[in-house]
Structure 1
C-alpha cells in the first residue's frame, strides 16, 4: 500500500552518522513539511542517530496544530511518532492494521515495555516531547 503523506517535522534532533561518528549535520530541518517521497529518501540516504523527534504524517496537505489526542482524532494526521532520550518511543496511529504491524515489529525486535496506549494508561496531556 502506497500512501501519499505529508510529514510535519516538528522539533527534533536527528543527526547523520559519518565515518562512525555523530555529525553536526541534521537529517531533517525543524518545523518543515516534507512530501512522503522526500521524507523517505532522507531516511534511506544513510545512517542517522535519533536523540528526540516529533514527526507527524498527514493524509492531506491540511496541516493543523495537534496538541492533544482530541486534536489528533479531529485532524488529517494519520500517525504521530514521538521519540525522547533516543529510546522512549510513542506512536499514535489511526490505522489499526498499521498499528498492529508496528506493534508486532517492535515485539519481534525484542523492544522492552511495548504496550498499547489506551485511555486508561495514557499519561500524556500533549502530543509532543
Structure 2
C-alpha cells in the first residue's frame, strides 16, 4: 500500500475542475470559487469533512 498524504500540511493549486455541493440530493454551488487558484490544506479538508460533493473532475496539485 502507498503512503498516506497529509492534506492539511500542504497548499493546493486548483486547476481545471467541475464539482458541486450536494444539498437535498440536488447539485448546488461549486466546491471551489471560480477565481480560486490556491487553497490551504486545512481549509480543503474542512470542506470535505463538512459537506457532500459530487466531483466530476478536479485537477489539484500539492505543494509544501
The structure, 1 or 2, with the larger RCO (C-alpha pairs under 8 Å, 6+ apart) is: 2
Q: Which runs of 4+ in 1 moved over 4 A?
A: none
Name the one with the larger strand percent: 2
Query: Scaled by the length of structure 2, what TM-score is found?
Result: 0.76
Unaligned runs of 5+ in 1: 60-129
Give the root-mean-square deviation of aligned CA atoms. 1.8
Q: After superposition, what is the alpha-carbon deviation per residue over 1:26-72, rounded to whole angstroms, capped at 9, x for unaligned?
A: 0112451111101111111111101111011111xxxxxxxxxxxxx
Q: In the TM superposition, what are the counterparts of 1:72-83 in structure 2 within 5 Å?
A: none
1:12 paired residue number: 17
Query: Scaled by the length of structure 1, what TM-score is found?
Result: 0.41
Asked if structure 2 preserves the Cα contact closer than 8 Å seen for 1:13 and 1:50, the reply is: yes
3-state SS of paired residue (1:12): strand
